[in-house]
Structure 1
Amino acid sequence: MTTGNETGVRERLTGHRDRFDAGFARYFDTVARERPSRGVFVPEALELVRDMSLRGGKRLRVALLYEAARLVTPEAVAGLEEAALSMELLHTHGLIHDDIIDDSPVRRGAPSVYYAYRERFPGRPQTALGLAVLAGDLAAFLSLRVLLTAPVSPELRQAMAAVQATAGADTVAGQILDLERDFGPVPDREMLDLVSEYKSARYSVLAPLRLGLLAAGADPAAHDEGLARYATLVGVGGQLRDDYLDLFADSDTVGKPAGSDLREGRRSYAVCAVLAAATGREREVVEAALAGPGCRPETVGQVRDIARRHGVDERMRADLNRLAEEAASVAAGWRPRWREEAVAFFERLPLWAARRAR
């Protein structure tokens, strides 16, 4: 059942996304006019970056940015448009490079940038790889440039660019930790949470909060402990939800075959929980599924059955709800200093997100 609060969160997210997407398309029209006068590779790279950027996505970072500014004021705020563009360009950079690292052929229902180049240069794999890396780099540098040309004071530009550069560096560190997680002993919960914090929470939640407050004239440093706590809870909860859905949801719900983490050998929250709970022959089944490619749907079903026998699904749902309630409690504590309407959005958002795992 959908509550009024859930509907309100969804409508706010949809409204922010729709308004932003129109501006994102216009931005790429402007960038396309600045391309070099010779050559075809640069416009091709830009078109692939554009296509990946506009192909879809919930635009949660955009919503968090705008709602963070609304914590301070309901009025229009200069620099928010540029900050939103910057965040989504950085996200595009991450998607392109993630697909290279994971050797992913598809992203958002169409070829990944890496595989688009592989199709373009079937006999030159190194050229395809190099161009895909450069396309991701192009998105990253555009992300900083758009902030540094925002119509705000030089001091604010510098502060916003510093936030975004820090978020980018943290995300790369998180990606490295993510790769390390799948080597050696099974990672503990502290390691899993650290990966989620760096790979997701810091740039997907904390950076938009800081940028929105900065643009609206507030000093995020004065509230950073609470902002960071909220971001970590939401970021960890989001990754936990994704890992839960990957193992327990049907393909129609997640839009891809179930068990991708098993097939890719990823020690996700769900996979680690099953490994910890499994005994004897059960653990061998899970480890065999992780060991090599070609994990069949029947094997994914076996691992799912093992998880359910040991109550892993129930514990993960309970953990999701706990994280969401803690995040909501942190946001509720913002009421004495910030606007009620925006505080209520941040309070409801994690609870709404947790229910999407049902």
Structure 2
Amino acid sequence: MTDVLAAALHRAAAHQRRFETRFAAYFDSLTDPAAGGTLDAPPHGRFPARALALVRELSLRGGKRLRVALLHEAAALVTDRPVPGLDTAALGIELLHTHGLIHDDLIDGSAERRGGPSTHQTYREEFPDRPDTALALTVLAGDLAAFLAVRVLLAGDLPPDRALAMAAVAADAGADAVNGQLLDLERDFPPEPDTAFLHTVTEYKSTRYSILAPLRLGLLAAGADPAPHEAELRTYATALGTANQLHDDWLDLFGDPAALGKPLGTDLRSGRRSYLVRALLAAADPAELRTLHAALGAPDHDQDALAPIRRIARAHGIDRTLHDQAARHAHRAAALAAAWHERWRPEAAAFFTHLPAWSTTRDH
């Protein structure tokens, strides 16, 4: 690891630590009268409070908080002074992420997330004889997180025009993510998706809200207009997001479940045509295809049964190919950010230049 990358990751870790405290305080402020009690919660019933509690629990369970670091470093591109609106923006984007996680786990039937039960799994355990209720409550908990994501931006102490502009970014990112989820479901129907379709899924489902939206929000919070830089910000986000997703697909089969906080083979068992699954189906011979199809779309497929699939992937060089493709996209993102040193503050530009290298070597 280079000294510059180490410094960038150190700053990212510092952003994360500060944010964790701020995130917990935010949830306290919603319901604790001593902290302001800013959310007008219903005076009767236990379901609303339980939904908020589960949103809080999943939100505070951790994660890379990459979006938080991107927000702070985007603002640092244009100023070295404190930017008050960054905390509010970080709350909004992480609440939007919680919304996505809750619905994504529901769609995929995932029982685990971040080393604990998914929201849907928790509701299934609480209502074992009412699966429709568990499903409905999960959808509503995800919706609650999404509305809170926009509410925090509009109800904070930002100047009104800036609050509206930042809320619009969050709302657009949420709509893009929903479209990405729709495409994510469509790609598992015939015909087999091509690479362009998979790139589009990646862009809408994750890149636009996880990378592009934080870039826009960070600049807006710092008082800069991101519009003149939209094309290069979007190109950088697309390259970095694709590298991230390719590496995520690699981790899903070859990663460490303890580090990931969830079982391996999620894409395969859910029948999702990820970059890796698509490559496996295209390369496998008839005997290998029988092995693949036994696991494809089989949520109860045993973890130990993934070993033969890993052997198939390695035999066809798919593990190396995916790694090389991720590295190429990461290199493109780094090259784009290298040009930012001439226009924006070098320290922050260095973060964006070196971040792609980390994105393709991380273990979670």
Q: TM-score range by the shorter chain?
A: over 0.9
Which of 356, 360, 363 is matched with 1:354 structurally?
Answer: 360
Match of 2:220 in 1: 214
Q: Which has the higher contact order (CA 8 A, sep 6+)?
A: 2
Match of 2:13 in 1: 14
Match of 1:37 in 2: 43
Aligned length: 357
Match of 2:134 in 1: 128
Normalising by structure 1, what TM-score?
0.95
Q: In terms of mean alpha carbon deviation, does 51-60 or 304-313 score higher? A: 304-313
Q: In terms of mean alpha carbon deviation, does 205-214 or 252-261 score higher? A: 252-261
Match of 1:151 in 2: 157
Return the letter of the residue paired with 1:30.
S
Return the letter of the residue paired with 2:179.
A
Return the letter of the residue paired with 1:292.
A
Does 2:66 align with 1:67?
Answer: no
Q: In terms of mean alpha carbon deviation, does 270-279 or 286-295 score higher? A: 286-295
How far off its partner does 1:252 sit? 4.1
Does 2:51 align with 1:51?
Answer: no
Match of 1:192 in 2: 198
Return the letter of the residue paired with 2:306.
V
How far off its partner does 1:131 sit? 1.7
Is 1:241–1:357's contact at 8 Å kept on the other side of the alignment?
A: no
Partners of 2:257 and 2:105 lie apart in 1 by 20
Partners of 1:256 and 1:123 lie apart in 2 by 26
Task: Give secondary structure in 2 for the equivalent of 1:333.
Answer: helix
How far off its partner does 1:37 sit? 2.7
How far off its partner does 1:40 sit? 2.0
1:75-129 deviations in Å (ceiling 9; x for gaps): 1113211111000111111111112112222221222222222222222222222
Q: In terms of mean alpha carbon deviation, does 162-171 or 186-195 score higher? A: 186-195
Partners of 1:100 and 1:290 lie apart in 2 by 18
How far off its partner does 1:291 sit? 4.8
Return the letter of the residue paired with 1:109.
G
Match of 1:283 in 2: 289
Partners of 1:287 and 1:16 lie apart in 2 by 43
Residues 226-237 of structure 1 aligned to structure 2 (within 5 Å): 226-237=232-243
Task: Give secondary structure in 2 for the equivalent of 1:334.
Answer: helix
Partners of 1:18 and 1:104 lie apart in 2 by 28
How far off its partner does 1:298 sit? 4.9
How far off its partner does 1:10 sit? 2.2
Is 1:262–1:295's contact at 8 Å kept on the other side of the alignment?
A: no
Match of 2:313 in 1: 307
Partners of 1:134 and 1:71 lie apart in 2 by 37
How far off its partner does 1:150 sit? 2.6
Does 2:272 align with 1:273?
Answer: no
Does 2:260 align with 1:240?
Answer: no
Q: In terms of mean alpha carbon deviation, does 145-154 or 158-167 score higher? A: 145-154
Match of 1:345 in 2: 351
Residues 65-214 of structure 1 aligned to structure 2 (within 5 Å): 65-214=71-220
Unaligned runs of 5+ in 1: none
Partners of 1:310 and 1:45 lie apart in 2 by 46
Are residues 253 and 139 of structure 1, via their aligned partners in 2, closer, same or farther at CA, if it must alter by over 3 Å?
closer
Q: Percent identity, aligned pairs only?
A: 56
Are residues 336 and 104 of structure 1, via their aligned partners in 2, closer, same or farther at CA, if it must alter by over 3 Å?
same
Match of 1:326 in 2: 332
How far off its partner does 1:147 sit? 0.6
Aligned Cα RMSD in Å? 1.7
Task: Give secondary structure in 2 for the equivalent of 1:183.
Answer: coil
Is 1:233–1:327's contact at 8 Å kept on the other side of the alignment?
A: yes
Partners of 1:139 and 1:118 lie apart in 2 by 19
Partners of 1:77 and 1:290 lie apart in 2 by 48
Unaligned runs of 5+ in 2: 32-36
Partners of 2:26 and 2:299 lie apart in 1 by 40
Q: In terms of mean alpha carbon deviation, does 271-280 or 244-253 score higher? A: 244-253
Partners of 2:229 and 2:362 lie apart in 1 by 29
How far off its partner does 1:302 sit? 1.7
